């Protein structure tokens, strides 16, 4: 059996993510102030891009 391990930045469809043998590991982003956010669905894309712009 083939297994696929990827991080949460992968651009997979819901069907691909739920396929047998596919495991997704949440990616962690560290911001300039030293705080970090795990990509676990608690931060929306809009919130992420606002935070990213603030750190530039």
Residue 1's pLDDT is: 84
Residue 55's pLDDT is: 86
Residue 40's pLDDT is: 86
Residue 3's pLDDT is: 95
State pLDDT tens for residues 2-36. Answer: 999 999 889 899 999 999 999 999 999 999 999 99
Phi and psi of 38, rounded to 5°?
-85, 135
Give dist(CA 15, CA 30) in Å, integer: 29
Residue 26's pLDDT is: 92
């Amino acid at each position: 059996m083939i297994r696929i391990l990827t991080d949460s930045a992968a651009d997979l469809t819901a069907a691909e993510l739920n396929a047998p043998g596919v495991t997704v590991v949440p990616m962690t982003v560290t911001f300039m102030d030293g705080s970090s956010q795990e990509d676990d669905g608690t931060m929306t894309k809009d919130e992420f891009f606002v935070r990213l712009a603030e750190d530039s």
